[in-house]
Amino acid sequence: MRYEAPSSSKEAAKLLASAKGKAVVLAGGTDLLVRMKSGAVEPDLIVDIKRIGATQEIKKSGNGFKIGAGVSGARLGKHRALKKAWPGVVEATNLIGSDQIQGRCTMAGNLCNASPAADSVPAMVAANAKANVVGPGGRRTVAVEKIPTGPGKTSLKKGEIIESITLPAKAPRSGDAYLRFIPRTEMDIAVVSAGVNLTLDSKGVVKKARVALGAVAPTVLLVEDAAKAIVGTKLDDDALAALAAACEAACRPIDDMRGTIEFRTEVAGVLARRAALTAYERAGGKK
Amino acid sequence: MNGVQVSTTVNGDVEEFVCHPGETLLEVLRNRLGLTGAKEGCGTGDCGACSVIVDGQLVCSCLVLGAEVEGRKVATVEGLADGNRLHPLQDKFLEHAALQCGICTPGFLVAAKALLDDNPDPTEEEIRYALAGNLCRCTGYDKIVRAVDAAAAELRKSSKKKASGRKK
Amino acid sequence: MAEQSYTEQEFKVVGSRVRRPDGVDKVTGRARYGADAFAPGQLVGRILRSPHAHAKIKKIDISRAEKMKGVKAVITCDDLPDLTGGRGPNFDILVNCMARGTALYHGHAVAAVAAVDEPTARKALKAIKVEYKALPHVTDVDAAMAEDAPIVQPGVEHDGKPSNIVNVSQFGHGDVDAGFAEADVIIEKSYRTEQTHQGYIEPHACLASVGPDGDGELWVTTQGHFTFRNVCAQLLGMDIAKLKVTSSEIGGGFGGKTHVWMEPVALALSRKANRPVKLVMGRDEVFMGSGPTCSTSMDVKIGAKRDGTITAGQATLRYQDGPFPGPWGMLGAMTSWACYDLPNVQAVAYDVLVNRPKVAAYRAPSAPMAAFAVESTMDLVAAEIGMDPVDFRLQNVAKEGSKAAYGPTYGPIGIEATLRAVKNHPHMKAKLGKNQGRGMACGFWFNFGGQTCTDLNIGVDGTVNLTMGTVDVGGARASMSLIAAEELGIPYEKVKCNVGDTSSLGHNDTTEGSRGTFSSGMATIFAARAAIDVLKARAALMWEIDVDDIEWKDGAAHAKGIEHSNLAPLTLAEIAKKSPQTGGPIAGHNEVVADGAGVSFASHICDVEVDPETGKTKILRYTVVQDAGKAIHPDYVEGQFQGAAAQGIGWALNEEYVYGEDGRLQNPSFLDYRIPVCSDLPFIDTEILEIPNPNHPYGIRGVGETSIVPPLAAIAGAVSNAVGVRLDHTPMSPPRVLKAIREANGR
């Protein structure tokens, strides 16, 4: 086993691409170290990307925010402008684990761990976030929902790392929200979750919507029917019922120790409804 | 194994050690540096008994590699007291009987220290959520929350005193 | 024994909220727990565990592991021959610590290694090749009782046929059929509780060292180092006197550290490697390989008159014990009806074997489940006859002189007082909002006494070393120091209390059954009184008067009578200072079988709010009322009440072992075995009642366990009052509550 902490993304990509045996990327480590402890992964090479400058920055520009892959949840939560623009994404990331976990966990790591229950992912998908990937072949930008391909699997190729995540500039009269269900008040993995991002017209009618669900399918779902159910409405009761129904219809969950199929399905609709109302209010909509 | 040579600061002292690439900071602290105040309750970041502060940030030392703390500043429960003067958190934990078996206590103290450094006047709810990453099975948390609240009040009092002292 | 009897007295230091003597060590990280010990040359031990729920072990090949560089010992059951006299006492412990031919549950130990470091030990485990033949398994208690169930332990028979039923116990009196015939209302209901774990934050850990002479030392986190010594010495074939066991600071036990799990393995590894071996369980091993409590299936039937008088109560309890027989169903049956004075009552319990870990004691073992079933049914009967649940309980409550269903006739007891306190508590009158509900329930625990041995030594400066043999699980050294200070009449700060190792004291039974403060408290009183006798004799020498003319009060010898009025009192310190000249060191010693532990009762009130759309329950307010007999250190008494209630809340709402179809435990982690976190709970209010135990000089009753008993039923009642569904299955997790709501709404 070898540990490397390169200072550039290019160097990291090179190390990973040329590695013999199992090579892993270490960002926050809150998933990787657990997997190493259990023996689920026994890496030959660990590439720590936190000494790469670009992974440590939160950059604001006309195009939105670029958030480095090594930025911890705790740092994200202290960034005022980001919180104001994307409260749902920040809240979602801040829901990952305890304060201790927040000190380490990252959005990019949460994405690359490729768990369908990852808290930050439905919020990022709803926000239309993009992953900035660096690899031996150069750079590419990918919609975040294209990164996980199944539980624990990603579309990243050998040698590729996510250097940062881009959140678009906040549109006028828009708002996002994320809710998850856990049995306790903290420390659990989401049993089911929903991220909603809405843009309203000047009259408070939903103009655009993105609705994403977590822990109800092998990957986070972007539910277009759910968005359709509320576009053109002011989130009246019928629209909310249609939203919940569309979400329930989209669910393909499993029964496991964390929840049942019927529970996940029913609560997915409940959470989408509640998150939509919060997003609506954040977008300036008045009920 | 390719040992990693690390130079770091622990509770203000420079420490140098060589560790396995996969060895956690918790293992380094306990087995190489003899600092057994941080405990392993789970090894998976779920119990907080191994809490330490790295560069001002609260973390589970079981989820940090020893190799990662090169050039960082690590603070553990062993460095909480000022010589033989207990930190107000330590003092209030004793006064309020906020520990029974005491295995979770180092983690709680470190987490509470991180909380109060960031938020000197937390509400009960803020205390409870800030300490949600620290499991205690003995106390039902009641006396722990009271002790942290009392320590926060004590720290506010003494920082006010200091501030007014400076004005004079 | 007359000297054990309660004497009313005014206490000077007992009952005060002093700082604990071990506190500073525990807030500075100095305190040394099970995993905090080091020995020169120590090795890292690790255990290989069965991936199967039930399997024949055809072959274990350790040759590759043994040859690896850095591996110093590899052992299997062959290194732990049966020295119990052929499946004798403690054979179950031997089988549980290392499988013998058959893996009986997922996580059963099959081999172990000792190596120079952790990575090498892990590699060595991988190099051990075990050939298994999977056998049919059963993990559910009802399924295990079925006719065609897979048999967990060949040789067990019930009704003349191979069976998993290892024991049937029955308690009660009167004629239940006649009682039910008299009833106006009969409620009968079935309940289930899932398996829970004690969840101590400190995993099992020990450091074992056996030298070439065969003598050994064991540093271990345990609730009973003397018992551990006796068991380990027997299983390893050592003389009891030649194995010194030191109880480390203990990071929580709750019954789970009363049992020997892996310590014989550590000693066997050390003996084979001829080096000290540190063996520490991972959290997954704690869940898989150290004892949880039983899961159960229960039926309860209560008949009552319209006026609220219960005419009959009957309970059938099925408790699974894991793969080895235990007393668990029996204890459930004994505790089930203990709160009530019933004319006709019966409890029948089945202890049943399954392919799960060996069941261990967990705080008032077996009582919470039976109370969940009985107390929930009590609520249903009260509702059916339109009576307030507290009044209904008061009408049938056990009193002094009542004959308990499990046999004895009660002396002075506190159940009625706790119920009256609940009835008058402001909590009972507080307003509730939408989707909020209140519940209440009662609980009982026997409490134990047992063998105890304590030493008290006085230094020449008048300070006192108190050495006790029960383990300090959560403040006992403070309580014992208070008691010694009280008896001797000296300040609390002058006493230093330590837990002695097995070579420094006579045998002490395991610290279980809430016996620590009761029994070591008693031995401390007697040891102090013995020391006072010596102090008086020394004062007599110093004064050259008759010892009968001396009395001890306020920490000093006083000469009685007008003829001695010129003699100023001699303080303890003054007598101690002269002790080298008056006969040498001054000490008091006591060994006792502390009989007469007073039974304990508690009543709880709980408010919850349930989210009807998700089934999630939030605890809004919680109040514990419990009888302590006498609270020696009220802070730690409250702490016991609060901690027990919190464990009960976790049991009620979210904690459970989840087994897959394959018989494997799916959630052996603190991530998915969900114990309450800080933000899950409100402050837990407590009210300490003091109804003296007549069989203890200070009136002490054990306080540690009883309050884990009521929460399951109290919360079930509160949920029922909040959203109109009565849960009969714990944990009342969101999926179960939501399903119940859905079904109640006809969806």
- Segments making up each domain of chain C, as ranges: 42-135+204-280, 296-447+598-744, 449-591
- Contact yes or no for B67/A48 (Cβ under 8 A): yes
C-alpha separations of A26 from B3, C264, C529 in Å: 18, 39, 64
Query: Is C27 at the interface with chain A, CB within 8 A?
Result: no
Query: What are the domain boundaries of chain A?
Result: 2-167, 174-282
Q: Does A188 touch chain C (CB under 8 A)?
A: yes
Tens-digit pLDDT profile for residues A122-135: 999 999 999 999 99
Upstream peptide bond of C710 is cis (omega within 30 degrees of 0): no
What is the 8-class DSSP label of residue A97?
A: S
Q: C227: helix, coil or strand?
A: helix
A74 has a pLDDT exceeding 70: yes
Please state, in angstroms and rounded to a whole number, the distance separating the CA atoms of residues C514 and C473: 10
Q: What's the pLDDT at B164?
A: 79
Residues of A with CB under 8 A from a CB of B: 1-3, 5, 26, 29-30, 33-34, 36-38, 43, 46, 48, 50, 72, 74, 97-101, 103-104, 185-187
User: How big is the B-C interface in CB pairs under 8 Å?
Assistant: 182
Interval B70-95: pLDDT, tens: 999 999 999 999 999 999 999 999 99
CATH topology of domain A174-282: Enolase-like; domain 1 (3.30.390)
pLDDT for B167: 56
CA distance C475 to chain B (A): 6
Judge contact between A100 and B58, C-beta under 8 A. Answer: yes
Q: Is the pLDDT of residue C738 over 70?
A: yes
Read off φ and ψ for residue B58, nearest 5 degrees: -70, 130
Q: What is the pLDDT of residues A94-112, one digit of tens each?
A: 999 999 999 999 999 999 9
Structure confidence by residue, pLDDT tens digits, A154-213: 999 999 999 999 999 999 999 999 999 999 999 999 999 999 999 999 999 999 999 999
Helix H or strand E segment including C669: none
Q: For chain C, what is the mean pLDDT?
A: 97
CB contact at 8 A, B89 and B147? yes
Contacts of residue C88, defined as CB under 8 A and 6 or more positions apart, other chains included, come to none
Structure tokens belonging to residue C488 = 């001797």
Q: In the structure encoding, which two tokens stand for residue A109, read together?
A: 């790591």
Of B30, B78, B101, the CB nearest to C251: B101
Which residues of chain B neighbour C642 with C-beta distances below 8 Å?
139-140, 142-143
- H or E segment to which residue B53 belongs: strand B51-54
pLDDT for the residue B161: 85
Identify the sign of the CA torsion A60, A63, A69, A75.
positive
Phi first, then psi: give them for residue C409, nearest 5 degrees.
Answer: -100, 130
For residue C658, pLDDT over 60 is answered with: yes
Decide if B20 and A5 are in contact by the 8 Å CB cutoff.
no
Do residues C352 and C296 touch, judged by C-beta distance below 8 A?
no
* CATH architecture type of domain C296-447+598-744: 2-Layer Sandwich (3.30)
Using CB atoms, pick whichever of A186, A263, A266 lies closest to residue C679: A186
pLDDT band at residue B148 under the 50/70/90 scheme: very high
> Taking CB atoms and an 8 Å cutoff, what residues of chain B touch C671?
44, 46
Say yes or no: C82 contacts chain A, CB-CB below 8 A: no
pLDDT in tens, B26-73: 999 999 999 999 999 999 999 999 999 999 999 999 999 999 999 999
- The pLDDT confidence band at residue B162, using thresholds 50, 70 and 90, is confident
A236 at C interface, C-beta within 8 A: no
Report whether C626 contacts B121 (CB < 8 A): no
Among chain A residues, the shortest Cα distance to B50 is held by: A100
Compute the distance between CA of residue B155 and CA of residue B149 in angstroms, rounded to an integer: 10
Look at residue C251 and tell me whether its pLDDT is greater than 70: yes
Strands C550-553 and C556-559: antiparallel
Say whether residue C24 is in contact with chain B using an 8 A CB cutoff: yes
- Tokens 């948390």 sit on residue: B141
pLDDT per position as a tens digit, C278-333: 999 999 999 999 989 999 999 999 999 999 999 999 999 999 999 999 999 999 99
Domain at C42-135+204-280, CATH from 3.40.309.10, 3.30.465.10, 3.30.930.10, 3.90.1170.50:
3.90.1170.50
Share of chain C above pLDDT 90, in %: 98
Spatial distance between the Cα atoms of A117 and A97, rounded to a whole number of angstroms: 12
CA C319 to chain B, closest CA, distance in angstroms equals 25
Q: What residues have CB less than 8 Å from C294, skipping those under 6 apart?
A: C141, C195, C319, C320, C321, C328, C329, C332, C359, C366, C369
Please state, in angstroms and rounded to a whole number, the distance separating the CA atoms of residues C606 and C425.
12
The C-alpha of C520 sits at a distance from chain A's nearest C-alpha, in angstroms, of 39
Measured between alpha carbons, how far is residue C576 from residues A208, C458, C556, C586 in Å? 87, 7, 11, 7
The mean pLDDT value for B104-127 works out to: 98
**Chain C residues lying within 8 Å of B146, measured CB to CB:** 683
Fold of C449-591: Aldehyde Oxidoreductase; domain 4 (3.30.365)
pLDDT class of C3 with cuts at 50, 70, 90: confident
Could you check whether C296-447+598-744 and C449-591 share the same CATH topology?
yes
> What secondary structure does DSSP assign to C530-549, as a single string?
HHHHHHHHHHHHHHTS-GGG
Strand C43-49 and strand A221-222: the pairing is unpaired
Which pLDDT band, with edges at 50, 70 and 90, does C200 fall under? very high
Helix (H) or strand (E) holding A65: strand A64-68
Question: What number of C-beta contacts closer than 8 Å exist between A and B?
Answer: 92
Reported confidence tier of residue C746, pLDDT bands at 50, 70, 90: confident
Region of residue B71 (left: phi > 0; alpha: psi -120 to 50; beta: else) = left
pLDDT digits (tens, 9 = 90+) for A268-279: 999 999 999 999
Q: Do B45 and A50 touch (CB under 8 A)?
A: no
**Residue B100 falls in which region: left (phi positive, over 0), alpha (psi -120 to 50) or beta:** alpha
| Residues in chain C closer than 8 A to B86 (CB atoms) | 24, 27-28
Q: Alpha carbon C371 to chain centroid distance?
A: 17
Mean pLDDT for the stretch of residues C429-451: 97
State how far residue C332 is from chain B, nearest Cα, in angstroms: 23
State yes or no: ipTM above 0.90: yes
Angstrom distance (rounded) from CA A37 to CA B26: 12
Three-class SS state of C604 = strand
Per-residue pLDDT at A143 exceeds 70: yes
Which C-chain residues 94-153 have CB contacts (< 8 A) with chain A?
122
The pLDDT assigned to C583 comes to 97
Chain B, nearest residue to A51 by Cα: B68
Task: Answer whether residue C256 shows pLDDT above 70.
Answer: yes
Within 8 A by CB and 6+ apart from C376, the residues are C189, C191, C300, C713, C716, C717, C726, C728
Read off the tokens for C716: 């079930």
Contact B148, B90 (CB under 8 A): no
CA angle C609, C612, C618 (to 5 degrees): 25
Kindly report the pTM of this predicted structure. Answer: 0.98
Contact predicate A168/A62, CB 8 Å? no
* Cβ-based contacts under 8 A for chains A and C: 56
Structural fold of domain A2-167: 3.30.465
Residue spans per domain, chain B: 4-79, 88-161
Q: Which CATH architecture has domain B88-161?
A: Orthogonal Bundle (1.10)
User: pLDDT band at residue A64, thresholds of 50, 70 and 90?
Assistant: very high
What residue has token string 């019922």? A241
Task: For residue B47, give the 3-state DSSP assignment.
Answer: coil
Assess whether pLDDT exceeds 70 at residue B168.
no
CA dist., res. C42 & res. C273, Å (int): 10
pLDDT band at C1 (very low <50, low <70, confident <90, very high): very low
pLDDT digits (tens, 9 = 90+) for A220-243: 999 999 999 999 999 999 999 999
How far is the C-alpha of C515 from the C-alpha of C593, rounded, in Å? 11
The CATH code of the domain at B4-79 is 3.10.20.30
| Chain C, nearest residue to A181 by Cα | C614
A135: β partners: A138
Per-residue confidence (pLDDT) for residue A232, from 0 to 100: 98
Alpha-carbon distances of A282 from A172, A175, A197, A269, C617, rounded to whole Å: 11, 5, 10, 20, 28
Total residues belonging to chain A: 287
Beta strand segments in C471-599, E: 495-499, 550-553, 556-559, 570-571, 586-594
Q: Is the pLDDT of residue B166 over 70?
A: no
**In whole numbers, what is the pLDDT of chain B averaged over residues?**
96
Q: Is the pLDDT of residue C120 over 90?
A: yes
Strand duo C243-247 + C216-220: pairing: parallel
* Res C2: pLDDT: 57
Q: Judge whether residue C491 has pLDDT over 60.
A: yes
**Could you tell me if A114 and A150 are in contact, meaning their C-beta atoms sit under 8 angstroms apart?**
yes
Alpha carbon distance A195, A98 (integer Å)? 20
